[in-house]
Amino acid sequence: MTEKDTASPESPFTLSGKTAIVTGGGRGIGRAIVQRLVSAGANVLAADLDQEALQETQSSVHNPERVALVCGDLMQPALPQEIVNAALEAFDAIDIIVNCAGFSWDSVIQKTSDEQFLAMLNIHIVAPFRLLRAASDYLRATAKHEIAAGQRVMRKVVNITSISGTGGNAGQAGYSAGKSGVIGLTKTLAKEWGRYNVNVNAVGFGLIQTRMTQPLTPEAKIEMAGREIPIGVQPAMLDSIAAACPLGRIGTPEEAAGAVLFFCSPLSDYVTGEVLICSGGYHF
């Protein structure tokens, strides 16, 4: 199905009536996740640092009224609570949380500053922690009410990790540490929140076609916290990874979103605390 389709009668599930929060929803994998969730019937609160990119995401779906937007820096401590409040105000529910926001700021360890390392931890593990903590009151209170009424309503958390977090990668001490931390958070919350009927899982990506994995050029940069940070991958490395990948290519954002959609759907109702690797079979 395309991003402008609605869930077909042949679909094994629908997310109609569900509300999702997706961080990093302005572009790349995050945008593809928003599109997949809306296509399956969900309402989505998309959060991102870039207002223009968020608006492009909203206009890319068939039902833009089902997408609400919050623009802000997830590394600011107050924003996660603002996102939770906005989702409840817009759609009066939270059923799915996808922690997708992130970026890479790479160096070998002797060239990595404290600022650089802490930024990687802040965006990849501290921000998801804060968002899930902010949502915990709603998730627990709602589940207790449902359980008392004899209902089992499953809710979903999907945290995004990486094969850099599962296997490490030279030049990515901060990024790998942050993405590894996501796995620990995932497994811990799966144990804490199982009693509330919340599935907590992670998807670990290999190389996916986004601006973070575009061929490295002097012009390829993003601005974060007032700094210009180079992004991209050496073309020779991209070619070598594609050649080493059992599927022989780099993945697309839509393929990445498909793995996330599984964990957002009723198909994963008895799966929790797991890490699904979506890398075409490639591992560092």
Residue 211 has a pLDDT of: 81
Residue type, 123: I
Q: What is the pLDDT of residue 229?
A: 82
Active-site choice (175, 196, 270, 282): 175
User: Which CATH number fits the domain that encloses residue 155?
Assistant: 3.40.50.720
Query: What residues contact 140, with CB distance under 8 A and at least 6 apart?
Result: 196
pLDDT at 1 (0 to 100):
42
Position 113 in a domain:
yes
Residue 36 lies in a domain: yes
Q: Identify whether 161 is part of a domain.
A: yes
Tally the domains of the chain: 1
Residue 215: its pLDDT value, please? 77
* Within-domain flag for 220: no
Is 196 catalytic? The answer is no
User: pLDDT in tens for each of the 284 residues of the chain?
Assistant: 444 444 544 568 999 999 999 999 999 999 999 999 999 999 999 999 999 999 999 999 999 999 999 999 999 999 999 999 999 999 999 999 999 999 999 999 999 999 999 999 999 999 999 999 999 999 999 999 999 999 999 999 999 999 999 999 999 999 999 999 999 999 999 999 999 999 999 999 999 998 878 777 777 777 776 778 877 777 887 888 889 999 999 999 999 999 999 999 999 999 999 999 999 999 98
Residue 234 is assigned to a structural domain of this protein: no
Q: Which of 210, 207, 213 is nearest to 241 (CA)?
A: 207
Strand order in the sheet with 43-48: 67-71, 43-48, 19-23, 96-99, 155-162, 198-205, 275-278
Domain ranges, residue 146: 19-208+252-278
* Per-residue confidence (pLDDT) for residue 157, from 0 to 100: 99
| pLDDT (0 to 100) of residue 238 | 83
Please state, in angstroms and rounded to a whole number, the distance separating the CA atoms of residues 212 and 232: 5
Q: Is residue 221 part of a domain?
A: no
Whole-number Å distance between alpha carbons of 254 and 268: 19
Q: Tell whether 54 is covered by a domain.
A: yes
Q: Which amino acid is at 26?
A: G
pLDDT of residue 281: 96
Rounded to 5 degrees, φ, ψ at 278 are -115, 85
